Amino acid sequence: MPVIFHEKTKEFHLCNGEISYIFGILANGQPGHIYYGKRLTDREDFGYMTEYAMRDMAPCAFEGNTSFSLEHLKQEYPAYGSGDMRFPAFELEYENGSRTVDFQYKEHAIYKGKKGLEGLPAVYVENEEEAETLELTLEDPLTGVQMILFYTIFEEYPVITRSTCFCCKKERVTLLNAMSGCLDLPDKDYEMVELAGAWSRERHVKVRGLEYGIQSIYSLRGCSSHQFNPFLALKRTNTDEHSGEVIGAGLVYSGDFLAQAEVDNFDVTRLIMGIHPNEFRWEMEAGEKFQTPEMVLVYSENGLNGMSQVFHRLYRTRLARGKWRDRERPILINNWEATYFDFHEEKLLKLAEKAREIGVELFVLDDGWFGKRNDATSSLGDWRVNEEKLPGGLKRLAEKINALGLDFGLWIEPEMVNKDSDLYRAHPDWVFADIRRNYCHSRNQYVLDFSKKEVVDYIHGQIRKILKEAPIAYIKWDMNRSFSEVFSNGMDRAHQGKARHQYILGVYDLYERLLREFPDILFESCASGGARFDPGMLYYAPQAWTSDDTDAVERIKIQYGTSYVYPLSSMGSHVSASPNHQIFRDTPIYTRANVAYFGTFGYELDLTEAAEEELRIMRQQTEFMKKHRKLIQKGIFYRLKSPFEHNSSAWMVVSEDRREALFAYFRVLQPPQAGFERIRLSGLNAEWKYRVKEETGESGYEGEHYGDELMYAGLSLSDQSSGLVKIAGDHQGDYMSRLLSLSAII
């Protein structure tokens, strides 16, 4: 049984073959945390692991008992006050202004399977045997307010999911803070791993040691943001990619979030994660509920790769959903960097013809097809085809693209509006800002107020009409600016504290409606590149545009960091022009492809201006991707060498049966008189022999080696080496890469 309850000791033990999560009911009726980590043998009483202490100045709950203080006890979902002075998991206010709470255990339910969260994305199960769920109900006896703590443990994953539901029973109550979950750990001997950055350098890996006080990441931008991702990991100082203990935490949410580790002055670490409390104020009347987003906890004793592989498999198969979850993704051409706004039907068809010649399967029309959109200053919100550019509309263009043998895809940005638009002129009050005041623009656009149902309904009607009129197989859903002055015009004071969260619920609602009506469409999310690359989005769109930065060298870091949490099947990755349009770097075409293969793959350049030799190479690239994309998108990914620490880096993907693998090596700058370099592979069968083949260029190394050689002796990648694998002479210099395929000989 994955969830065990010991009646006598009132302890709960959530366990599977890999992990244990243990807590019990404390003397004051609150749930107290006992243990989370590697699987422990079950016993009736783990109470000896609960640590009590008598310390000066500590507020104590019971008269005469100087050792029971919430300031020092580990808890499951703590409140501020009542003895605990650390950052709380929740805070609420009653009608009389009191914020004092006393939630005590009332009852619990244990059942097979896992329920969905109304209006919110969440990890799911396909049959009840995959997981077991505990619902722990706590109640404040004075006010009758209840909270339900949800815990789900999976049978085959070292995963615990957490969320919380607040239920107002009698009087009005206002939530001021509602985290999704809390984890109190017994020491501070961890390093905090986060994914930080900015536009065009998203999800760079940052590591820092924990110290007294709060170390946090967050977003107040209305989206999960370029700056931080709703993920953090706590790893032991000796943990690396391949070994050691690590706890990963992810939030299945796409809006403002807070994730933090607080270390108290007795070295206890408190990890919390949830909706950011800034500008959050959720008033509930009697009978109303509030559900937090879901927090996903992953435990690994096999290093950071072990943690990532769990996230990958869980998110790819039990968060992503629908027709495209398990299907190989089409190779696409996007016209943006080829034409920008300057296009017409004939120009697009010429690009599509070249794309067909090199083996592309999907043509995507990006920004500029609607309203009077010839630059970024107008027409967002007016989702009507510009027939001056596209006579006959999208239907005619899409049918001509289909006649070439390609599917047709389309870019939209439904959450935004320009002032120069019919929508804004008709409804200036639909802008998500106080229109009585000056308010900021970004990229000449403004955020629509998706906290209002009528706004979502209107946009839904426009997008639905477009999707019904033309054969559209793919949608790229963009979102190109952050929130600034958040205000919902015409709504009352109570609504303003809910507006930020309700905006995201509105986005989820629009996605859900369109997915229900158009289940065959492949949705790719985008937010000025990677500003909303989060688990919440993966529930609706199984892939995301990883970054607007298409430079291969920068993408090595971006995709390496993204892989800490997200599967390769979720990463939109394209071969773009050289010099690159963002970085202006000249990069060999084989390196651009070798990076882009490890994602969904496509092209983002003007094929009509490419030389015949380039087109021939691209034809080889699409053939290679079609042959290997099942392995890439469903295999087990290993990070082997970090681009954040070295001039060179490496990664590989291995099939689940270990019969096939792809290995990629990247070196940014050519070193003079470099030393020897060896990289050990991972995930192979040590006893099997593998055929190792150079896939970079016309001719390269081909040989046979046992798995133990490749994993324990490693590949020699030094210039002019006479070692295991020789460098091909034409693949040296700056921005060099290597790609090797491995196939088992059995």
* 401 and 432 share one domain: yes
* 542 and 400 share one domain: yes
pLDDT digits (tens, 9 = 90+) for 236-254: 999 999 999 999 999 999 9
How far apart (Å, rounded) are the C-alpha atoms in residues 320 and 123?
8
Beta carbons of 78 and 84 less than 8 angstroms apart: yes
Amino acid at site 394: L
Q: What mean pLDDT is predicted for residues 125-146?
A: 96
Which entry of 256, 382, 534, 548 is annotated as an active-site residue? 548
pLDDT band at 480 (very low <50, low <70, confident <90, very high): very high
Q: What mean pLDDT is predicted for residues 595-620?
A: 97
pLDDT band at 358 (very low <50, low <70, confident <90, very high): very high
Q: Produce one character per residue of 262-290: b if its CB has 16 or more CB atoms within 10 Å, e if not.
A: bbbeeebbbbbbbbbbeebbbbbeeeeeb
Helix pair 393-403, 345-357: axis angle to 10 deg: 20
How far apart (Å, rounded) are the C-alpha atoms in residues 111 and 731?
58
Q: Is 468 domain-assigned?
A: yes
* 387 and 459 share one domain: yes
How far apart (Å, rounded) are the C-alpha atoms in residues 581 and 334?
14
* Domain end (from 610, 633, 656): 633
Q: What is the CATH number of the domain that holds 204?
A: 2.70.98.60
Q: Is 19 domain-assigned?
A: no
pLDDT digits (tens, 9 = 90+) for 369-427: 999 999 999 999 999 999 999 999 999 999 999 999 999 999 999 999 999 999 999 99
- Does residue 509 have an active-site annotation? no
Coil/strand/helix, residue 254 = coil
Q: What pLDDT is recorded for position 56?
A: 78
pTM exceeds 0.95 for this model? yes
34 contact partners, CB below 8 Å, separation of at least 6: 11, 22, 23, 24, 46, 47, 49, 50, 74
Measured in Å, how far apart are the chain's first and last C-alpha atoms?
39
By percentage, how much of the chain surpasses pLDDT 70? 98
pLDDT digits (tens, 9 = 90+) for 722-744: 455 554 455 678 999 999 999 99
Beta carbons of 683 and 658 less than 8 angstroms apart: yes
Q: What's the CA angle centered on 135, arms 41 and 146, to 5 degrees?
A: 135
Q: What pLDDT is recorded for position 158?
A: 98
Q: What pLDDT is recorded for position 227?
A: 98
* 247 and 358 share one domain: no
pLDDT band at 49 (very low <50, low <70, confident <90, very high): very high
Q: What pLDDT is recorded for position 414?
A: 98
How far apart (Å, rounded) are the C-alpha atoms in residues 262 and 212?
7
Domain interval for residue 508: 332-633
Q: What pLDDT is recorded for position 587?
A: 96
How far apart (Å, rounded) are the C-alpha atoms in residues 601 and 629?
9
Q: What is the CATH number of the domain that holds 689?
A: 2.60.40.1180
* 375 and 310 share one domain: no
How far apart (Å, rounded) are the C-alpha atoms in residues 500 and 277?
11
Residue 307 is encoded by which pair of tokens?
Answer: 């943690």
Q: Is 325 domain-assigned?
A: no
* Domain end (from 605, 633, 661): 633
* 158 and 115 share one domain: yes
Structural domains in the chain (count): 3
Please state, as a whole number, how many other Cβ atoms lie within 10 Å of the Cβ of residue 579. 12
* 249 and 384 share one domain: no
Q: Produce one character per residue of 41-79: b if its CB has 16 or more CB atoms within 10 Å, e if not.
A: eeeeebeeebeeeeeeebebbeeeeeebbbbbbbbbbbb
Instruction: Collect contacts of 23-29 with beta carbons under 8 A, ≥24 apart.
Output: 23/76, 24/50, 25/105, 26/50, 26/68, 26/73, 26/75, 27/61, 27/62, 27/68, 28/61, 28/62, 28/68, 28/70, 28/102, 28/104, 29/102, 29/103, 29/104, 29/105, 29/138
Q: What pLDDT is recorded for position 740?
A: 96
Q: What pLDDT is recorded for position 720?
A: 55
Q: What mean pLDDT is predicted for residues 146-168?
A: 98
Nearest to 728, CA basis, from 705, 696, 681, 680 = 696
pLDDT digits (tens, 9 = 90+) for 618-669: 999 999 999 999 999 999 999 999 999 999 999 999 999 999 999 999 999 9
Q: Is 587 domain-assigned?
A: yes
Q: What pLDDT is recorded for position 731?
A: 64
Nearest to 484, CA basis, from 532, 446, 529, 437 = 446
225: left (phi over 0), alpha (psi -120 to 50) or beta: left
* 505 and 629 share one domain: yes
Q: Is 28 domain-assigned?
A: no
Residue 534 has pLDDT above 70, yes or no: yes
Coil/strand/helix, residue 84 = strand
Amino acid at site 300: S
Nearest to 233, CA basis, from 215, 213, 250, 257 = 250
Q: What pLDDT is recorded for position 203?
A: 98
* 272 and 353 share one domain: no
Q: What is the CATH number of the domain that holds 629?
A: 3.20.20.70
Q: Is 32 domain-assigned?
A: no
* 226 and 104 share one domain: yes
Where are any strands of DSSP class E within 54-145? 90-94, 104-112, 131-139
Q: What mean pLDDT is predicted for residues 693-705?
A: 82
pLDDT band at 100 (very low <50, low <70, confident <90, very high): very high
- Does residue 366 have an active-site annotation? no
Beta carbons of 252 and 502 less than 8 angstroms apart: no
Residue with tokens 């890439």: 632
Residue 232 is encoded by which pair of tokens?
Answer: 């953090």
465 contact partners, CB below 8 Å, separation of at least 6: 383
Residue 575 has pLDDT above 90, yes or no: yes
Q: What pLDDT is recorded for position 240?
A: 98
Residue with tokens 């022999």: 689
How far apart (Å, rounded) are the C-alpha atoms in residues 731 and 689?
27
Residue 333 has pLDDT above 80, yes or no: yes
Q: Is 26 domain-assigned?
A: no
pLDDT band at 696 (very low <50, low <70, confident <90, very high): confident
* 482 and 585 share one domain: yes
Q: Is 163 domain-assigned?
A: yes
Mean of the per-residue pLDDT values for the chain? Answer: 95
Q: What pLDDT is recorded for position 179?
A: 98
Q: What pLDDT is recorded for position 725?
A: 52
* Domain end (from 603, 633, 663): 633
Residue 312 has pLDDT above 70, yes or no: yes
* 588 and 689 share one domain: no
Where are any strands of DSSP class E within 104-188? 104-112, 131-139, 146-154, 159-167, 173-185
Q: Is 746 exposed, middle or buried (0-12, 13-18, 19+ CB in 10 A)?
A: exposed
When comparing pLDDT for 57 and 366, which is higher?
366
Which entry of 478, 534, 549, 551 is annotated as an active-site residue? 478
